[in-house]
Chains A and B, each alone.
Chain A
Amino acid sequence: MKVKLLLTASLFFSVLTYAQTESGAGNSGTFSGSFYSNTNGFIRNTKIGATTPLYTQALSAVEGWFNANYTSKMVNVSMRYDFYHNSNLLQPNEPYSNSGIGFWQINKTADKFDISVGNIYDQFGSGSIFRAYWEPFIGIDNAIQGARVIFRPNANLTIKAISGKQKYRFSSFEPILKGVNIEQSLSTKNNINATLGAGLMNRTLDKQTMNAIADNINNYPLADRFVPTYNEFAYQGYATVYVKEISLSLEYAGKTSEAIQNQSFTQLQNKPGQFIQGNLAWSHAGKRGIGVNLQYRKLNNFEYRISPLENGLTGLVNYLPSITRQNTYRLMARYNAVTQYNNEQTMQADITYTHNDKNTLQLNGSYVTGYNNVELFHELYFDWLHQFNDKFKMLYGIQSVMFNQSILQGEAGAKNVYTITPFTEINYDIDSKRSLRIEAQYLSTKQDSGSFVNVLADFNVAPHWSFSAGDMINIIPNSGTDKINYYTLFAAYTEGPSRIALAYVKQLAGFNCNGGICRYEPAFNGVKLTLSSTF
Chain B
Amino acid sequence: MKKYLFILVMATLLNACKEDGPYIDFTPTKTPQQGDTAYFASAVATPQQRNVLLEDITGVRCPNCPQSHDAAKAISNANPGRIVILALHGFSNPVFTDPLITSGFGYPEFRDSTAEYIITQLLGNPTALPQGAINRKFFASESYRYIPYSKWSGYVNSELVLPTPMNLDITNSYNSSTREVTSVVKMECTQDVTDTMYLTVGITENGILGTQKGPTDTIQNYQHNHIFREGLTPKSGLRLNSPTITLQSKQVIVRVFKYNLPAGWNVNNCNIVAVLHKSSSRIEAMHCAEKKIL
Question: Do the beta carbons of A227 and B281 come within 8 Å of each other?
Answer: no
Please, how many angstroms separate the alpha-carbon atoms of A211 and B23 in the complex?
A: 9
Question: Do the beta carbons of B121 and A229 come within 8 Å of each other?
Answer: no
Give a binary string over A209-232; 1 marks a CB under 8 Å from any B CB, 0 the rest: 011111101110110011111110
Residues of A contacting B29 with CB < 8 Å? 221-222
Please, how many angstroms separate the alpha-carbon atoms of A228 and B20 in the complex?
A: 10
Query: Interface with A: B91-99, B173-181, B233-241, which one?
Result: B233-241
Give which listed residue, B17, B24, B121, B239, contacts A225 with CB less than 8 A: B24
Please, how many angstroms separate the alpha-carbon atoms of A231 and B235 in the complex?
A: 23
Chain A nearest CB from B143 CB (Å) reads: 15
Q: Which of B1-47 contact A (CB under 8 A)?
A: 17, 19, 21-26, 28-29
Chain A nearest CB from B269 CB (Å) reads: 30
B280 located at the interface, meaning its Cβ lies under 8 Å from any Cβ of chain A in the complex: yes
Residues of A contacting B235 with CB < 8 Å? 218
Residues of A contacting B28 with CB < 8 Å? 222
Q: Which of A221-267 contact B (CB under 8 A)?
A: 221-222, 225-231
Question: Do the beta carbons of A219 and B239 come within 8 Å of each other?
Answer: yes
Chain A nearest CB from B23 CB (Å) reads: 6
B279 located at the interface, meaning its Cβ lies under 8 Å from any Cβ of chain A in the complex: yes
> Which of B17, B21, B239: most chain A CB closer than 10 A?
B21
Q: Which of A92-119 contact B (CB under 8 A)?
A: none
Question: Do the beta carbons of A218 and B21 come within 8 Å of each other?
Answer: no
Question: Do the beta carbons of A213 and B22 come within 8 Å of each other?
Answer: yes
Chain B nearest CB from A178 CB (Å) reads: 14
**Are A215 and B24 CB-contacts (below 8 A) given A222-B29, A229-B19?**
no
Chain B nearest CB from A336 CB (Å) reads: 28
**Are A210 and B25 CB-contacts (below 8 A) given A215-B279, A218-B234?**
no
Residues of B contacting A230 with CB < 8 Å? 19, 21
Residues of B contacting A212 with CB < 8 Å? 279-281
A208 located at the interface, meaning its Cβ lies under 8 Å from any Cβ of chain B in the complex: yes
Please, how many angstroms separate the alpha-carbon atoms of A210 and B121 in the complex?
A: 10
**Are A225 and B22 CB-contacts (below 8 A) given A208-B280, A214-B236, A215-B236?**
no
Give which listed residue, B22, B234, B239, contacts A211 with CB less than 8 A: B22
Residues of A contacting B279 with CB < 8 Å? 211-212, 215
Residues of B contacting A222 with CB < 8 Å? 26, 28-29
Chain A nearest CB from B212 CB (Å) reads: 31
Residues of A contacting B239 with CB < 8 Å? 215, 219
Residues of A contacting B17 with CB < 8 Å? 231
Closest-by-CB residue of B relative to A231 is B19
Chain B nearest CB from A217 CB (Å) reads: 6
Residues of A contacting B19 with CB < 8 Å? 229-231
Please, how many angstroms separate the alpha-carbon atoms of A492 and B235 in the complex?
A: 63
Give a binary string over B216-255; 1 marks a CB under 8 Å from any A CB, 0 the rest: 0000000000000000001110010000000000000000
Chain A nearest CB from B29 CB (Å) reads: 6
**Are A227 and B22 CB-contacts (below 8 A) given A211-B281, A215-B236?**
yes
What does DSSP make chain B's interface, helix, strand, loop or mixed? loop
Residues of A contacting B26 with CB < 8 Å? 222, 225
Residues of B contacting A221 with CB < 8 Å? 29
Question: Do the beta carbons of B280 and A218 come within 8 Å of each other?
Answer: no
Question: Do the beta carbons of A214 and B23 come within 8 Å of each other?
Answer: yes
Please, how many angstroms separate the alpha-carbon atoms of A219 and B233 in the complex?
A: 11
Please, how many angstroms separate the alpha-carbon atoms of A229 and B18 in the complex?
A: 10
Please, how many angstroms separate the alpha-carbon atoms of A213 and B281 in the complex?
A: 11
Taking residues whose C-beta sits less than 8 angstroms from the other chain, chain B's interface range is: 20 to 34
Number of interface residues of A (CB under 8 A): 19
Q: Which of B248-294 contact A (CB under 8 A)?
A: 279-281, 283
Please, how many angstroms separate the alpha-carbon atoms of A161 and B239 in the complex?
A: 42
Residues of A contacting B234 with CB < 8 Å? 218-219
> Which of A215, A219, A221, A228: most chain B CB closer than 10 A?
A215
Residues of A contacting B121 with CB < 8 Å? 211, 214
**Are A227 and B280 CB-contacts (below 8 A) given A215-B236, A218-B235?**
no
Residues of A contacting B25 with CB < 8 Å? 218, 225
Please, how many angstroms separate the alpha-carbon atoms of A230 and B23 in the complex?
A: 12
Chain A nearest CB from B279 CB (Å) reads: 5
> Which of B24, B122, B239: most chain A CB closer than 10 A?
B24
**Are A208 and B22 CB-contacts (below 8 A) given A214-B121, A218-B234?**
no
Please, how many angstroms separate the alpha-carbon atoms of A526 and B23 in the complex?
A: 51
Please, how many angstroms separate the alpha-carbon atoms of A485 and B233 in the complex?
A: 59
**Are A217 and B21 CB-contacts (below 8 A) given A211-B280, A211-B281?**
no
Closest-by-CB residue of A relative to B243 is A216
Question: Do the beta carbons of A229 and B21 come within 8 Å of each other?
Answer: yes
Please, how many angstroms separate the alpha-carbon atoms of A221 and B24 in the complex?
A: 12
Chain B nearest CB from A34 CB (Å) reads: 38
Please, how many angstroms separate the alpha-carbon atoms of A383 and B281 in the complex?
A: 55
Question: Do the beta carbons of A208 and B236 come within 8 Å of each other?
Answer: no
Chain B nearest CB from A227 CB (Å) reads: 4
Chain A nearest CB from B144 CB (Å) reads: 12
Please, how many angstroms separate the alpha-carbon atoms of A218 and B23 in the complex?
A: 9
Chain B nearest CB from A203 CB (Å) reads: 13
Please, how many angstroms separate the alpha-carbon atoms of A225 and B25 in the complex?
A: 8
Question: Do the beta carbons of B236 and A227 come within 8 Å of each other?
Answer: no
Q: Which of A190-221 contact B (CB under 8 A)?
A: 208, 210-215, 217-219, 221
Residues of B contacting A218 with CB < 8 Å? 23-25, 234-236
Closest-by-CB residue of A relative to B23 is A214
Residues of B contacting A227 with CB < 8 Å? 21-22, 24
Closest-by-CB residue of B relative to A219 is B239
Please, how many angstroms separate the alpha-carbon atoms of A219 and B235 in the complex?
A: 11
Residues of B contacting A219 with CB < 8 Å? 234, 239
Closest-by-CB residue of B relative to A174 is B281
Please, how many angstroms separate the alpha-carbon atoms of A218 and B117 in the complex?
A: 13
> Which of B17, B19, B281: most chain A CB closer than 10 A?
B281
Please, how many angstroms separate the alpha-carbon atoms of A227 and B18 in the complex?
A: 13
Chain A nearest CB from B37 CB (Å) reads: 20
Closest-by-CB residue of A relative to B235 is A218
Please, how many angstroms separate the alpha-carbon atoms of A213 and B234 in the complex?
A: 15
Please, how many angstroms separate the alpha-carbon atoms of A215 and B26 in the complex?
A: 13
Please, how many angstroms separate the alpha-carbon atoms of A200 and B283 in the complex?
A: 35
> Which of A217, A218, A231: most chain B CB closer than 10 A?
A218
Please, how many angstroms separate the alpha-carbon atoms of A222 and B28 in the complex?
A: 6
Binding site for B on A (CB under 8 A): 208, 210-215, 217-219, 221-222, 225-231
Chosen A-B contacts, 25 in total, with CB atoms closer than 8 Å, are A211-B22, A211-B121, A211-B122, A211-B279, A211-B280, A211-B283, A212-B279, A214-B24, A214-B121, A215-B236, A217-B24, A218-B235, A219-B239, A222-B26, A222-B29, A225-B24, A225-B25, A226-B24, A227-B21, A227-B22, A228-B21, A229-B21, A230-B19, A231-B17, A231-B19
Give 10 A-B pairs besides A221-B29, A231-B19 with Cβ atoms closer than 8 angstroms: A208-B281, A211-B122, A211-B283, A212-B279, A214-B22, A215-B236, A218-B23, A219-B234, A222-B29, A226-B24
Which 7 residue pairs spanning A and B have beta carbons closest together? A214-B22, A212-B280, A227-B21, A218-B236, A219-B239, A215-B279, A208-B281
